[in-house]
Amino acid sequence: MPDIEPQSAGRGLDVGAFDPRRGNLDLVRCPRCGNLLSASDCNTTELVRCPSCQVRFRIEVFPALFRAIARGRPAEGILIEGESACFYHEQKKAVLPCDVCGRFRCALCDVELDNRHLCPACLQSGYKKGELNQLEKSRIIYDSAALWMAVLPMIVLPLTILTAPAAIFLAIFSWFRPSSIVPRTRLRSYLAIAFALAQIAFWIFAFIGKPAMLE
């Protein structure tokens, strides 16, 4: 049987259904026969052989896929009169205050995020307001937007009267906003500023310099 070319997860890898009783052990399967694979079969430098169909392959997955799943702490009931109660569950014992609002929460309501302890309400509010970067699903890359705004309007040159200042603003604004998750330089913002300044210089010459030369 011919060898299978090396492939990465999500591009031919069969990812099975998640079984909470076995954790992540049932997620990775052979791309040819569907046989369950172990963590030692993944992220290898050389081709490995499936123990079932004997086909050779190489699979790359995130190492976090095989980490043990931590179970949450159960909430304890109030046993002694006068103990602090959870803000959301009056019969449950409070364990920690929220780092944002200060409300007491039981172990069930405690959400740990980046070494901070939040309550469900503050977690939801912070997500909606964009204050929790760890929960981002998407991100606006302002330096790329600035570059496109500086380049595309040159097709219709009069538009650059308005878009050039806006491109400069976006480029500078990108320096103070989270950039791409992939490391990158400020080259795009610098190029956007350079193109926008060239357009502004052109219009200054067009409106001021040219009439002066005609006189």
28 close to 15: Cβ distance less than 8 angstroms: yes
Which pLDDT score is estimated for 81?
77
Domain boundary among 70, 89, 124: 70
Note the pTM of the prediction, 2 decimals: 0.46
How far apart, in Å, do the first and last CA atoms of the chain sit? 85
**Cα–Cα distance measured from residue 4 to residue 23, given in angstroms and rounded to the nearest whole number:** 28
> CA nearest 44: which of 27, 63, 31, 25?
63
Domain count, the chain: 3
Which pLDDT score is estimated for 2?
38
- For residue 33, the SS3 value is coil
Q: Does one domain contain both 151 and 210? A: yes
132 close to 161: Cβ distance less than 8 angstroms: no
Which pLDDT score is estimated for 48?
83
Domain boundary among 95, 117, 137: 137
Which pLDDT score is estimated for 80?
75
Find the helix or strand (DSSP H, E) in which 212 lies.
helix 210-214
Q: Does one domain contain both 210 and 152? A: yes
Which pLDDT score is estimated for 164?
93
Q: Does one domain contain both 76 and 91? A: yes
- Torsion, Cα 200 204 207 212, to 10 degrees, reads -160
Which pLDDT score is estimated for 105?
87
Structural tokens at position 73: 């702490």
Output the tens digit of pLDDT for each of the chain's 215 residues: 334 444 433 344 444 444 444 445 556 778 778 888 777 777 888 888 888 888 887 777 777 676 666 666 677 777 777 788 888 888 888 888 999 999 998 888 888 888 888 988 888 888 887 777 777 777 788 999 999 999 999 898 889 999 999 999 999 999 988 777 777 889 999 999 999 999 999 988 888 865 555 55
**Cα–Cα distance measured from residue 153 to residue 161, given in angstroms and rounded to the nearest whole number:** 9
Structural tokens at position 178: 């989270």
Q: Does one domain contain both 77 and 121? A: yes
Q: Does one domain contain both 118 and 173? A: no
Q: Does one domain contain both 153 and 114? A: no
In the chain, count H helices and then E strands. Answer: 5, 10
Q: Does one domain contain both 64 and 107? A: no
Structural domain boundaries, residue 26: 1-70
Structural tokens at position 147: 């570059």
Residues recorded for the chain: 215
Q: Does one domain contain both 125 and 156? A: no
Q: Does one domain contain both 112 and 55? A: no
Q: Does one domain contain both 21 and 39? A: yes
Q: Does one domain contain both 57 and 5? A: yes
Q: How many CB atoms lie within 10 A of CB 42?
A: 19
Q: Does one domain contain both 119 and 158? A: no
